[in-house]
């Protein structure tokens, strides 16, 4: 009798849990590094854009254009420049994740009530205090929403990093497809989905906290 997908999944997880944990750790590292860099760059450039609306439109269009390039095409463009491994995967994830962080940071700062800014100026706040104590705290809910979108998207897109030799759960999924091993395929897919859902719920909780 041919074993079913659930039995194959159980057997694979039981026998290869160390391989799965290694792949999961590789993917978590890649997503974490890419997300931190994207957050710092995205918020920094978003703040700079908030003072320059005309340039902001141009930069948002550029980020939007990069977002529409298929991930495999992005890897094809990056490999001749950066080779294979973690570096091209990291750069690709940063490119893909930049748009939601840029857009939400810019939108959050632009949506700050002018009356609030005037009140802060009236109390003697300088530009730095205005940004750190007034504008960024008010824009924080939108920024966190952009980060949530970016992180969940990066978890999904990072499975394609296997095509540039960056490992991760994508390697498990690809090997499962190539060998017609349903247990391996399900293990990689379910772990990726679980990772994405966990990150989504944690960041959703954080977003609700900063909105409260």
Nearest C-alpha neighbor of 99 from the set 88, 90, 107: 107
How far is CA 147 from each of CA 46, 83, 143, rounded to the nearest angstrom? 13, 28, 6
The region that residue 69 occupies, defined by phi over 0 for left and psi between -120 and 50 for alpha, beta otherwise, is beta
- Tokens 């490999």 belong to 79
Distance CA 135, CA 125 (A): 12
User: Is the pLDDT assigned to residue 1 strictly greater than 70?
Assistant: no
The tens digit of pLDDT for each residue in 61-120 reads 888 888 888 888 898 889 999 998 889 999 999 988 998 999 999 999 988 888 888 888
User: pLDDT band at 9, cuts 50/70/90?
Assistant: confident
Mean pLDDT of the chain: 88
**15, burial (CB in 10 Å: exposed 0-12, middle 13-18, buried 19+):** exposed
Distance CA 31, CA 66 (A): 18
What string of DSSP letters covers the chain? -PPPHHHHHHHHHHHHHHHHHHHHHHHHHHHHHHHHHHHHHHHHHHHHHHT-HHHHHHHHHHHHHHHHS-HHHHHHHHHHHH-SSHHHHHHHHHHHHHHHHHHHHHHHHHTS-HHHHHHHHHTT--HHHIIIIIIHHHHHHHHHHHHHHHHHHHHHHGGGGGGGT--SHHHHHHHHHHTT-HHHHHHHHHHHHHHHHHHHHHHHHHHHHHH-
The predicted pLDDT at position 112 comes to 86
The tens digit of pLDDT for each residue in 13-28 reads 888 888 889 999 999 9
Mean pLDDT is lowest, of 7-16, 22-31, 53-62, 171-180, for 7-16
């Amino acid at each position: 009798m041919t074993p079913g997908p659930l039995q194959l999944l159980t057997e694979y997880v039981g026998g290869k849990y160390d391989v799965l944990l290694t792949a999961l750790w590789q993917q978590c590292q890649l997503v974490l590094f890419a997300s931190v860099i994207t957050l710092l760059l995205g918020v920094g450039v978003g703040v700079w854009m908030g003072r320059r609306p005309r340039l902001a439109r141009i930069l948002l269009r550029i980020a939007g254009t990069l977002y529409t390039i298929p991930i495999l095409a992005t890897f094809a463009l990056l490999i001749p420049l950066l080779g294979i491994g973690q570096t091209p995967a990291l750069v690709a994830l940063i490119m893909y994740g930049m748009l939601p962080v840029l857009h939400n940071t810019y939108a959050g700062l632009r949506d700050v009530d002018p009356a609030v800014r005037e009140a802060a100026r009236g109390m003697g706040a300088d530009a730095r205090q205005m940004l750190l104590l007034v504008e960024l705290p008010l824009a924080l809910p939108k920024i966190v929403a952009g980060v949530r979108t970016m992180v969940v998207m990066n978890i999904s897109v990072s499975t394609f990093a296997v095509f540039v030799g960056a490992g991760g759960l994508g390697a498990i999924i690809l090997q499962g497809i190539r060998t017609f091993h349903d247990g391996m395929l399900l293990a990689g897919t379910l772990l990726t989905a679980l990772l994405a859902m966990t990150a989504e719920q944690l960041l959703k909780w954080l977003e609700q906290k900063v909105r409260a």
